[in-house]
Structure 1
Amino acid sequence: MNYFVLNERLGIELPALEREWEGYSETERANIVEQWELIRGSIPDRIFGFEKLINHKQSLLYEEENFERSCALNSDIAELASRINDLHIWYRLNQEIGVRRHD
C-alpha cells in the first residue's frame, strides 16, 4: 500500500493516510516513518533548487524595465518563497512523528 502521493507544487510525496495514526499496526507505522524519512531527506535539495530559481528571477527583476514583466517576476518569486515555506513545515513534521513513534 502506498501511504504517500506526489505533490507536484512541492515536488515531493506527501502523506496521504486513510486512518488515524493509531489505526496502523506497528509494522505499518515503521514503514510509513521509514519512507517519510527518505522523502524528508530530499527536502533540503528541493529548497535549494527553489532558492536558485528565486535568485535567478531576482537577477532578472533587477534588470527588468517592463512593469508588467516585473509584476510577473515578483509573483513567481512569491510563489517560490511560499513553496520553500511549505517545505520547511513538512521538514519539521518528522520531528513530531519521531516523538510519537517513541511514546
Structure 2
Amino acid sequence: MDNFFSFNERLGISIPDLQKSWDVYTHEEQQEILVTWEKIRGRIPDRIAELENEINHKQSELDNEGDFPRSCRLNSEISDLASIINDLWLWYRTNQDVSTKVHM
C-alpha cells in the first residue's frame, strides 16, 4: 500500500500518490486504496486538534512575550500551523465522497 501513498512531513499524514490513472488500477487495488484513504482521512480531525493545541500554546507564549523578534517568530509559527490546518481540512473535505465508493 506504500506504493499508493506518501508521507507528507508538513501535514503529518500520508496522502495519495497515485502514479497511474484511476481506471488502470484493478478493482481490488482501488478498494484497497479507498479503504486505506478512509483510515487516514479518519485521523485528520485528530491531527488538526494536535495542531490547534500547538497554536493555543504559542498564543499563550505570545501573550506574555515582550521581545519583538520572538513575537514575530511566534506569529509566523502560528500562521504556518494555521496554513497546515487549512490544507488538512481541504484534504478531508475534498475526499468526502470516497466513503461511498468504498461501500460499492
TM-score of the pair, normalised by structure 2: 0.90
Deviation of 1:96 after TM superposition, in Å, equals 3.6
CA offset digits 1:41-88 (Å, max 9, x no partner) = 110110000000000000000111111000000000000000000100
Secondary structure of the corresponding residue to residue 6 of structure 1 = strand
Aligned to 2:51: 50
Quick check: 2:38–2:99 contact (8 Å CA) kept in 1? Answer: no
User: What aligned pairs does 1:1-103 form with structure 2 within 5 A after superposition?
Assistant: 1=1, 2-98=3-99
Instruction: Name the amino acid aligned to 2:57.
Output: H
Structure 2: any 5+ residue segments left out of the alignment?
none
- What is the CA RMSD across the aligned residues, in angstroms? 1.7
Cα distance in structure 2, aligned partners of 1:37 and 1:7: 16
Query: Number of aligned pairs?
Result: 103
The CA deviation at 1:99 is: 5.4
Offset at 1:94?
2.3
Identity %: 53
Q: Which moved more, 1:90-99 or 1:26-35?
A: 90-99
For residue 100 of structure 1, report the CA deviation from its aligned partner: 6.0
Task: Determine helix, strand or coil for the equivalent of 2:23.
Answer: helix
TM-fit CA distance, 1:16:
0.6
Calculate the TM-score normalised by the size of structure 1: 0.91
Q: Unaligned regions of 5+ residues in structure 1, if any? A: none
